[in-house]
Amino acid sequence: MNFSTQLFTFVFFLIFIAVYFSAHAFLKNRSSNVKYEYIIIIASSLIFYGFAAFRGVLFISVYSVIVFVMGKITEKIKKSGKTKLGKYIFTLFIVSLASVLFTYKYLPFSIEILKKYKNIDTVIKFDIIPIGISFITFSAISYLVDIYKYEENTGSFLETFTFITFFPKVISGPIVKWRDFHKNLATRKPTVDLFFMGMNRFIIGYAKKILFADYFATVISTIMATGFENIDTRTAWLCTIVYTFEIYFDFSGYSDIAIGISNMLGLEFKENFAFPYTSKSITEFWRRWHISLGSWFRDYIYIPLGGNRKGKIRTLINLGVVFLITGVWHGAGKAYLCWGLMHGFFAIFERIVKDFNWYKKIPDFVKWLFTMFVVNLGWVVFFIEEKDLRHYLGLLFGTNKNSMSDIYASFSYYLDKKLIVFLIIAFIMSILPFMKKVYALKDKVNSDRFIVVKETALLALMIISVIVKYNSSYSPFIYFQY
């Protein structure tokens, strides 16, 4: 099931909210109310996951049970003081979880690579790959690491099951750490203010997806349907720029909806995006883009490797390892590997030169322009198939010249007035912090005087989004594939 479908918005979610808050009100003064709330969330999460992949429900259910058992064993051995045994068992558990991810996501690709060097006839193809397997695995690893390293307790079985399957985050994040989620569960308190804050966030995310991401997706599909042999360099760059905005509005929209739903239930997740297209370096970009993923890598990969505590050379190596894994995490293929290494190269370069005077003297605008060029170029990997990648890069840099015999290949055909308007709006929305006078209105909008105006505007935005959605085609969220 997709957050942007009518089935989710007007059937599943409305029923879930009605049942959840009815149970919350009815059982408010009973000690069992928490238990039933967890059961409602878990049942709803399994139904949500089942719509995406029915056969995956058994997988995620068994997986959650196994992770809980692993957590209990880890906690028991940790408390027993058997340090050496605990370390071995903990390592075995982490390797086991990583092996599940590798088997589903990377084993078929690895076999294909081996075929090129050895005579292997084996063909591996899974009938179903659990949706969101990367996000699920990272949640499970966080659960075990937080128990072993940060001494967070395992929680109850229902709490653990809720953590692994929680439907707002299960397929595409945000990647919430167990120690944060568990504290949220213990202190959560649904309030009217938090509910409306979450509802507003839901509307904004929904509008991002329907009004912008889906429209940009249709533009890209139209260009790609023409065939890369029939477009020129300007059109190739236009397609790349449009995708840069599509992936931002698509993924940040999903995160807004996930965080909004969690707020409505009384949970407060950390931000997953902080205007990444205002970054003046690749390092800053990764502090602003997919923040929960970057935070996960920092806590569970970078710091355990030594972080920046073991000298400059080791720090640079650790950065390289993190970005290498970042590329591999996004997909099995040489293109994703190169994408991760490219970002890693610039992050390492920035770390080396950041204290040099010549680097400090570079104008911020130039740094921002270069950063956006690298980011923009990197997104090509996400929407161009690997077999077409070299030809498309040749188009971008003018080394490939196509014959322009078709009117549909004309740059001016695609860059019509509607696309120009949407690109301008998208650009403004992406760089709001740079517009200090506009961003300063935030506090005024949150004052009592503007509450009615704000809520009316958001209601109108939701109505417009629903009308547009009703008249448009289905477009899944991009990060569903990861």
Residues identified as active-site: 330
Q: Are 245 and 215 in contact (CB under 8 A)?
A: no
Half-sphere exposure of 448 (CA within 13 A, CB side): 0
CA–CA dist 411, 238 (Å, integer): 8
Distance, CA of 445 to CA of 456 (rounded, Å):
12
Write the CB contacts of 303 (distance below 8 Å, at least 6 apart in sequence). none
The CA–CA distances, whole Å, from 459 to 9, 179, 301, 455 equal 14, 35, 43, 6
Nearest CA-CA partner of 374 in 405, 355, 349, 402:
349
Measured distance CA(446)–CA(220) in Å, rounded: 37
Cβ atoms 318, 306 nearer than 8 A: yes
Preceding peptide of 174 cis, ω within 30°: yes
> From the CB of residue 98, how many other CB atoms can be counted at a distance below 10 Å?
13
Angle at 18 between CA 14 and CA 21, to 5 degrees: 135
